[in-house]
Chains A and B, each alone.
Chain A
Amino acid sequence: MNYLYTAYAAVWIIHIIYLSSLARRYGRLRDEIKSLGKK
């Protein structure tokens, strides 16, 4: 039974890690666009 919960948790952890890395990249991109707009 423990394996079941571990597996389900692992799936979501992988997806959340990937999504948060996307969000981070998006934020960095937005900063760069802002700094480009200022020039």
Chain B
Amino acid sequence: MTLTAHTSDVSASQNMAAPNQGTGNNFKSNRPLPPISGFRTTVASLVKDIRLEWRSKDAINSMLFFSLLVVVVFSFSFDPTAQESRRIAGGLIWVAFLFAAIVALNQTWAREMRNQVLDAYRVSPAPANSLFLSKAIGNFLFVLLLEAVMTPLFIMFYQLRALGPAWQLVPIAVLGTWAIVINGTFFASISLRTRSREIMLPLLLFPISIPALLAMVEGTTSILSGELTARFWIALLLAYDVVFTMASLLLFETVLHAE
């Protein structure tokens, strides 16, 4: 059973294979295996994902290019003066990031389908939730990176300047990205088992994430225009994150082992 046939990385493969030693017969040692730590599995899997992404840069490149295209295309649909873009930018930015995040989310599990890595994970005694968390954190980091690169471009192209307290954009970005990513990772694991899986993910994800998207868009717009407070939207995002993180962690194992 090869867990990491698609990566040539030795240290990652050792880390990943560790949970599986119990199932292989070629290990002669009679020493009792150390209990599998969920935290170590999470870190090992996360490091593996980041390293894979670092080598190929598939997801991050396509996400960057996609959101760049959105910037250009939307600039034709309205007149990007400072006044006008202040009203629209909130929606524009988050829709661009949401669509771009779909690219990364679709890749998360599809990558593990090759060489039956996911099946290997199913039979291994490693806790399912640590795998899920590593995937979610990985996607979270990718999307945050995308946002960090794209935000200056948005500000430049659309002449954005916040009239409200700009620091509040940080909690909105962090909580909102987590909201998209936690549900997206979960639904990607669902849409994986369907026909035409790439189409299925947005169909499942968008309706459920409407409250989060609304909170992100409205929070950003109210900060940019400085007319209303964004406190409520940040609290809503927090509630959304808590509810769906709990739900995902509760249900992921069931979904992973569904047959």
Q: In their complex, do chains A and B touch, with some C-beta pair under 8 Å?
A: no
